[in-house]
């Protein structure tokens, strides 16, 4: 049985003032600023999706002479709509999807290294560094528009997405590390749920407002508006960093935090069990079905449902954003449900199997309102985020949790990057009117692969004792009473729950 001192909170209560670091008000104010770190960056992440028609439309729509105004001005410059036209950037579908692929691949490389960097330098430096990279990335992207029509525009766009990808994925690590340090028990679950909700709120507002803002103020101001929101993230990073430093000093924990975090070697990856790898690929195939779809959803809905429902571009953006809107609401609730219900293996299978009809509707039922599959996808996505990510700490040793989640994020991002390129190539190469149907079938195939891995996860878990499908009480008892498990062979003698929170810096909420 673990020593009771190992189960004490990281920050024991103090009695100095109502806004002392040991009190709830301090932690929850810190949580607000921590949540706001990625509000702007998640708003910016899917701005290309909302503006896909603008990014891929001809740069000179008046070649037929049918426009009386372009971009609200007399003749010259996206897509013709009556006699009032707008100028586009003339990107190919492959180039457009490469904006997402380059983000994912950058994340795949940086996210593992960022965990070690944050462990070494601390939360404040990590928050300031990576929020500044998000601001720099969105600013460079906006600057790229000044080279419209030239050969330099697209490379500058890519450079902006590389900087943005390096900062945003790593900034999520900082958020999770701050939450793990300052919250515990029920508060920890609530804190993670709030971070997810605020991130998705940024995504939802992007789908609701960006197209309208673009129509009123133009693309240049729209892109700079996203950069300004990332600037708000930098301000929040400054406040959160100062609170983190002041709080640790008030609790006399600063020196202890610098020396107490355990260090990991990347070579320990070789000890990861088959359960870890099955979960990682299960997660990758599920997310391949979600994010490449959302990246192209606005244009897909606008084009594919035009004859039946005649959506405007703005309405198409609203419908595409419903995936995030549903996950924003159900994400925290599903997290609490999984904490109470347990049985993650069963839930992983259910969320992957229930996603199959989504792509069936999108591919083969154009008369079904697209809100039906998008809301459905938002619900299964919430279930996946709540059941898949929390499963990894149960199948690896506590000392390797951070690296395990960082590696999983890398695998996820590599898969998503490849999928974005495949989707872009399909849309460019296939000239048939059914090309969007073939894209949905491709995403459906990835979902079927996810179901296959979910079945293998449950078979493997049952063979090893069924830890993923334990009830919460049974699982907690086994963690307290026994230091080992059947999933790994790394010795963690003397490693406490307190150490786990201090080390787990690469946890991801998606």
Would you place residue 189 in the very low, low, confident or very high pLDDT band (cuts 50, 70, 90)? Answer: low
Tens-digit pLDDT profile for residues 327-360 = 888 877 887 787 777 788 999 999 999 999 999 9
pTM of the predicted protein model: 0.73
Question: Which of 183-192, 345-354, 417-426 has the weakest average pLDDT?
Answer: 183-192
Q: Which fold has domain 23-60+86-261?
A: Growth Hormone; Chain: A; (1.20.1250)
Evaluate whether 196 touches 507 at the Cβ level (below 8 Å): no
What CATH code is assigned to 269-476?
1.20.1250.20
> What does the alpha-carbon distance between residue 412 and residue 287 come to, in Å, rounded to a whole number?
7
The angle formed by the CA atoms of residues 28, 508 and 107, to the nearest 5 degrees, is 125
Backbone φ, ψ for residue 150 (5° rounding): -100, 170
> Same CATH fold, 269-476 and 23-60+86-261?
yes
- Residue 68 pLDDT grade (very low, low, confident, very high; cuts 50, 70, 90): low
Closest C-alpha among 336, 40, 334, 80 to residue 188: 336
Q: Dump pLDDT digits (tens) for 229-256.
A: 999 999 999 999 998 888 888 877 654 4
Burial class (CB in 10 A: 0-12, 13-18, 19+), 150: exposed
Cβ atoms of residues 450 and 348 within 8 Å: no
Q: Residue 386 in 3-state DSSP?
A: helix
Mean pLDDT, range 30-42, rounded to an integer: 90
Q: What gap in Å lies between CA 262 and CA 493, rounded to an integer?
A: 12
Is the pLDDT assigned to residue 54 strictly greater than 60?
yes
Q: 448 near 455, Cβ under 8 Å?
A: no
Nearest CA-CA partner of 490 in 238, 290, 269, 317:
269
Query: How does the average pLDDT of the chain come out, rounded?
Result: 79
The highest-confidence range among 361-370, 410-419, 445-454, by mean pLDDT, is 445-454
Contact 111, 413 (CB under 8 A): yes
Q: Are 110 and 208 in contact (CB under 8 A)?
A: no
For the chain, domain boundaries: 23-60+86-261, 269-476
Which residue reads 């990246």 in tokens? 295
Residue with tokens 């960082």: 406
């Amino acid at each position: 049985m673990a020593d009771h001192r190992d189960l004490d909170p990281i920050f024991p209560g103090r009695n100095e003032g109502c806004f002392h670091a040991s009190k709830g008000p301090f932690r929850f104010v810190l949580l607000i600023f921590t949540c706001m770190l990625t509000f702007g960056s998640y708003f910016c992440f899917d701005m290309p999706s909302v503006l896909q028609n603008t990014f891929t439309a001809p740069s000179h729509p008046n070649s037929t002479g049918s426009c009386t105004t372009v971009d609200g001005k007399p003749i010259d410059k996206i897509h013709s709509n009556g006699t009032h036209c707008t100028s586009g950037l003339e990107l190919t579908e492959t180039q457009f999807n490469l904006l997402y692929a380059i983000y994912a691949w950058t994340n795949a490389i940086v996210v593992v290294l960022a965990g070690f960097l944050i462990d070494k330098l601390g939360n404040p430096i990590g928050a300031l560094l990576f929020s500044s990279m998000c601001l720099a990335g969105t600013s460079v992207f906006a600057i790229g528009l000044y080279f419209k029509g030239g050969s330099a525009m697209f490379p500058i766009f890519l450079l902006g997405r590389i900087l943005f990808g390096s900062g945003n994925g790593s900034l999520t690590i900082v958020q999770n590390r701050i939450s793990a340090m300052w919250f515990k028990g029920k508060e920890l679950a609530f804190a993670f749920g709030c971070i997810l909700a605020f991130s998705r709120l940024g995504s939802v507002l992007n789908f609701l407002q960006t197209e309208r803002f673009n129509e009123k103020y133009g693309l240049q101001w729209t892109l700079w508006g996203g950069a300004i929101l990332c600037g708000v993230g930098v301000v929040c990073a400054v406040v959160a960093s100062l609170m983190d430093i002041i709080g640790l000093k008030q609790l006399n924990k600063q020196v202890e935090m610098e020396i107490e975090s355990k260090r990991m070697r990347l070579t320990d990856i070789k000890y990861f069990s088959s359960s870890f790898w099955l979960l990682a690929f299960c997660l990758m195939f599920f997310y391949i079905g979600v994010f490449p779809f959302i990246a192209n959803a606005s244009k897909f809905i606008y084009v594919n449902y035009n004859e039946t429902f005649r959506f405007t571009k703005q309405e198409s953006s609203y419908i595409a954003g419903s995936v995030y809107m549903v996950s924003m609401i159900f994400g925290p609730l599903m997290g609490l449900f999984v904490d109470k219900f347990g049985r993650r293996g069963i839930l992983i299978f259910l969320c992957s199997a229930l996603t199959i009809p989504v792509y069936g509707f999108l591919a083969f039922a154009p008369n079904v309102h697209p809100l039906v599959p998008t809301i459905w996808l938002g619900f299964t996505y919430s279930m996946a985020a709540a059941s898949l990510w929390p499963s990894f700490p149960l199948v690896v040793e506590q000392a390797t949790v951070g690296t395990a989640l960082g590696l999983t994020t890398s695998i996820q991002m590599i898969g998503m990057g490849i999928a974005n390129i495949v989707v872009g190539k399909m849309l460019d190469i296939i000239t048939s009117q059914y090309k969007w149907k073939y894209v949905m079938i491709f995403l459906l195939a990835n979902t079927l692969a996810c179901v296959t891995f979910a079945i293998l996860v449950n078979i493997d878990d049952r063979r090893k004792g069924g830890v993923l499908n334990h009830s919460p009480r049974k699982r907690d008892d086994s963690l307290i009473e026994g230091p080992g498990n059947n999933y790994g062979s790394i010795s963690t003698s003397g490693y406490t729950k307190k150490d786990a929170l201090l080390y787990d810096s690469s946890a991801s909420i998606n």
